[in-house]
Amino acid sequence: MATFVLVPGACHGGWCYERLDEQLRQHGHRVHALTLTGFGDHARPMSGTVNLDTNIQDVVDVLTAESIEDAVLVGHSYGGMVITGAADRVPQRVDSLVYLDAFVPEDGDSCWTLASGEQREWYLSVGETGYAVPPLPFFDPRATAHPLASCLQRIRLTGDLGRFRRRDYVYATLWDGTSPFAPTYERLREDPRWTVHAVEGRHNLMRDAPDELLKILLDAAPEPDVQM
């Protein structure tokens, strides 16, 4: 039995993992599908003060409070920034990482520095608040505005991802135009330390390719201890 901690991307909450959550539990695994501070029911009035560190701490708090020591951290899109930071802060609580069409930052990176020009235009489309990035039209109706500071803050890392048992990258192949994650995919597919998957689906893989994604997550889980 593994413990999966599922971290959503921009504007989304733990509800975007509903189907995967249920399927993973049916396979006997523990699952924590998180809604991060600044999103959903937590969206206001805190959005103006929420940054990347806030969301990294959200994950660290769950790992600590639940005494999790073998987490499979799964991050979609922006969630890749969050799981990287959380794994760096408490590596002793993390077994492996799975990035779902997501950012994979190095020390000093931010969503802004890694994003495409089109994504940067979206980040700057804040309304009168100056800090709330609106959901895109194709997002789920439950999506809420995303705190701009979390896109701009640079991540600070003290180690590298090589210390974890396994790292998977899942690339969505169906984008209108060039995927902003294409450079990450091309870099990691040449790295033997990564397990890289190209999945026929749009950015929201949890909705577009749930069955294939389930197989990838089950394969990424640590082998159970066998008591003789």
Average pLDDT, rounded, for the chain = 92
Please enumerate in sequence order all residues whose Cβ is within 8 A of that of 225, keeping only pairs 6 or more positions apart, or say none. none
Q: What percent of the chain has pLDDT over 90?
A: 80
Q: What is the mean pLDDT of residues 5-21?
A: 95
| 62 assigned to some structural domain | yes
CB-CB contact of 150 with 144 (8 Å)? no
Q: Which domain holds residue 207?
A: 3-220
What crossing angle do the helices spanning 52-65 and 79-89 adopt, rounded to 10°? 60
| 165 assigned to some structural domain | yes
Cis amide leading into 91 (omega within 30): no
Per-residue pLDDT at 151:
95
| 227 assigned to some structural domain | no
Please say if 116 is a catalytic residue. Answer: no
> Tens digit of pLDDT for each residue in 124-147?
998 777 888 999 888 888 999 999
| 176 assigned to some structural domain | yes
How many residues can be counted in the chain?
228
Phi, psi of 218 (to 5 degrees): -65, -35
The total domain count for the chain is 1
pLDDT value at 160 more than 60? yes
CATH of the domain at 179: 3.40.50.1820
Q: Please pick, among 47, 77, 96, 150, the residue that the annotation labels catalytic.
A: 77
| 163 assigned to some structural domain | yes
Per-residue pLDDT at 157:
97
Burial zone of 113 (CB within 10 Å; 0-12 exposed, 13-18 middle, 19+ buried): middle
| 109 assigned to some structural domain | yes
| 226 assigned to some structural domain | no
> Tens digit of pLDDT for each residue in 104-125?
999 999 999 999 999 999 999 9
| 225 assigned to some structural domain | no
